[in-house]
Structure 1
């Protein structure tokens, strides 16, 4: 192949995989910007998305054309979300 030639062969499977991973990355950025998390592996089918109760993410995904299936509820540990201040004293009688 001539090094000045800008065209190169990309196998169909590789091109499709790259495109799928790029779409996954774009979806991940979109979901993360709206306060959600994609918890499935890149390129997985189906994609598993988590969000907080009351999040508008579910409605936005539905409006965008995604078919959603409720997978249930769970817990997510989020640092810094609940802060409780208290004072410790020593009481000696």
Structure 2
């Protein structure tokens, strides 16, 4: 279809945090369909899909990962090892190259 967004869908973990909000804004500004994993209230960005979920919610994360093509993690340093949960979910989803 003409005008259809062919850019990859992007999921940003930590997309409402200090660095994540800038990544989210840049993603939306670039015309990407952007998904944000949120723990707190998201920035007011149009064209984002937000889902509330903890990194321990493995099945929920996998279902969202199956809808995107790119994953960006901006989780805070105290959660650094929790990124392994994201990597595990990416492997299970099977549609994102690592």
Q: TM-score, normalised by structure 1?
A: 0.30
Give the number of the structure with larger relative contact order, counting CA–CA contacts within 8 Å between residues 6 or more apart: 2
Larger Rg: 1
Question: Going by fraction, where is strand more abundant, 1 or 2?
Answer: 2
Q: TM-score, normalised by structure 2?
A: 0.29
